[in-house]
Structure 1
Amino acid sequence: MKTALMALAMTGSVLAGAPASAEKATILYGDLDLATAKGLRALEQRIDIAARKICGFNDHITGTRVRSPETKRCYAHAKAQGLQTLAAIVSANQLGG
């Protein structure tokens, strides 16, 4: 299995249409065996953690624990983007890439 990197790039302000530079997260997965369910689950968890960090999903605003709609959209989009990249990587590895 090749050692490689995966990047997610989204921010809540980008999704809301405000001008901002997209944040990126690099997710290392060279230590995982993506041919196993355990390896795939571990990478999915890393994607989830990165999406939460990029979008500030775990940040709490004083006075509320409710996440803004922009934060929820950012998280959903960043996670979907990461899972889409994961699917492409798995597919390439199955084809011998």
Structure 2
Amino acid sequence: MSSPLLAIALASAISATSPAPTMQVKFDDLNLSTPAGQEILQKRIKSAAREVCGMDEKTTGTRIRSSESARCYNQAVGSATAAVAAAVRKARADS
């Protein structure tokens, strides 16, 4: 595999003038040509998106996530789709 990291640009609830936060998701230990490897990568992506978007942060007085956090999470996971698809195609071609 050419790159052991997948840089996922995470959508930000910050103003448009601020750069969107990113997080590196490691996958060099996974066999992406298998469904099990792909599933683990998806879990890592979702975990990274939850962390960066503040999905698990508690707000006093409510357990409901902010709409900004939810939007950030959905956009982050969605933006990783093309990069994951390319990594899976490469892994299948290499195997």
* TM-score bin (small chain): 0.7 to 0.9
Q: Secondary structure at the match of 2:18?
A: coil
AA at the equivalent of 1:73: R
Q: Compare 55-64 and 2-11 and name the one that shifted more.
A: 2-11
Q: What are the equivalent positions in structure 2 for 1:10-89 lying under 5 Å apart?
A: 10-14=10-14, 17-89=15-87
> Higher relative contact order by CA 8 Å / sep ≥ 6: 1 or 2?
2
Q: C-alpha separation between the residues in 2 aligned to 1:58 and 1:20?
A: 22
TM-score (normalizing by structure 2): 0.85
The RMSD of aligned alpha carbons is 1.8
Q: Could you list the runs of 5+ residues in structure 1 that have no partner in the other structure?
A: none
Aligned length: 94
Q: Distance in 1 between matches of 2:32 and 2:91?
A: 9
TM-score with structure 1 setting the length: 0.83
CA distance in 2 between counterparts of 1:52 and 1:21 reads 18
Give unpaired runs (5+ residues) of structure 2: none
